[in-house]
Structure 1
Amino acid sequence: MSHVRTQLRTVLRAALTGAFSGVSVEKDWWSVGDTSQLPRMAVSTPREAVRRIDVGTVERTIDVMVMGKFRGGEDLEDDLDAHLVTAETSVLGVLGTLSDIYDLAESGTDISLESQTPIGSINMLFRVVLRTPEGEPETLEI
């Protein structure tokens, strides 16, 4: 069985793939090479704070990062804002089915002009609290 973080990344990748037509949502977010691989998105869970809340139950506060890179033109900033809306709606929809404690902590955009085609990025940090039985990090309690 896989850790609840792995399960979380899997369902979020599926949701984002459904929400973003023609966008690849990858596991290996760190390997974007050149602009021919864009548009591309990824989900990462870099941090987790764990605390026991009663005899037998653990709360796992998980940071969820959603990242995306897109080629663009003169409307790139507006396009990035639209991508933020789509991603926020999709991710919060999934988190709401898994927990009653979740939020979007921060989001932002960035535009790089290092290549001939402007490249825009979105970065979002969500936090979700998942509960598992103590000693069973692969079993989600809903």
Structure 2
Amino acid sequence: MHYRATFRETVRVAMMMSAEFSAFNQRSAWAQTIDASELPVFGVATPRETKVLDAQDVSTRSTQLIVVLKRLGGDDLEDVLDFDSEAVERIVLTALLADPQRMASLSDTEVTIDGSGAQRVGTLQMTFRIEGWPLEPDYGAGD
């Protein structure tokens, strides 16, 4: 399994196993539309990575991991999402930092509330940065 797929799976499993999010449906973070009947949902993606070559066979890779959470709510929806963000941060960082070969931190939190439909839908998007030092691929393999 590719290391980015491992990051996504680690976070998905940790979220599903948590008391706070075990009742949530898991969907692709890339889903463009989600029916309100499916809420609450969460998704995990790794949309971006930067790389710096440290030596001939080792690089520093900084992977962006995003957790997106959507839920219905009332007037207190922003407050509910604030509590969700605390739980997501704790769960994600605990899961990712279980491997001593990487560092992880929260870099961005965004909350949006859409009240244009019959019910208010809140979206929480949290961006984490994962630093790792994988060995470089053997580009000479197969020759």
Coarse TM-score class (shorter-chain normalised): 0.7 to 0.9
Q: Residue 133 of structure 1 corresponds to which residue in structure 2? A: 135
What is the aligned partner in structure 2 of residue 77 from structure 1? 78
Q: CA deviation at 1:121?
A: 0.6
Q: Tell me the matched-pair count.
A: 135
Mapping of residues 45-60 of structure 1, within 5 Å: 45-60=46-61
Normalising by structure 1, what TM-score? 0.87
The two structures have a TM-score, normalised by structure 2, of 0.86
Residue identity in the other structure for 1:126: F
Query: 1:134 & 1:33 partners in 2: Cα distance?
Result: 38
Match in the other structure for 2:45: 44
Structure 2's unaligned 5+ residue stretches are 139-143
Task: Give the root-mean-square deviation of aligned CA atoms.
Answer: 1.6
- Bigger Cα displacement from structure 2, 22-31 vs 65-74: 22-31
Residue aligning to 2:13? 14
Gaps of 5+ in 1: 137-142
For 1:11 and 1:39, locate their aligned partners in 2 and report how far apart those are by CA, in whole Å. Answer: 20
Which residue number in structure 1 is paired with residue 95 of structure 2?
Answer: 94
CA contact (8 A) 1:16 1:25 kept: no
Q: Deviations over 1:72-127 (max 9, x none)?
A: 11221111011101100011112212344321111021110021111011011110
User: Structure 1 stretches (4+) deviating beyond 6 angstroms?
Assistant: none
Paired residue type of 2:2: H
Q: Tell me which protein shows more helix as a share of its residues.
A: 1
**Could you tell me how far 1:58 is from its partner in structure 2?**
2.0
Q: Which residue of 2 aligns with 1:123?
A: 125
Residue 28 of structure 1 deviates from its aligned partner by 5.4
In the TM superposition, residue 21 of structure 1 has moved relative to its aligned partner by 2.5
1:28-69, Cα deviation, whole Å (9 max, x unpaired): 541543100110000110001112222322221100111010
Match of 1:105 among 101, 104, 107: 107
Q: More deviation in 71-80 or 19-28?
A: 19-28
The structure number with the bigger radius of gyration is 2
Q: Which region of structure 1 is more displaced relative to structure 2, 51-60 or 84-93?
A: 51-60
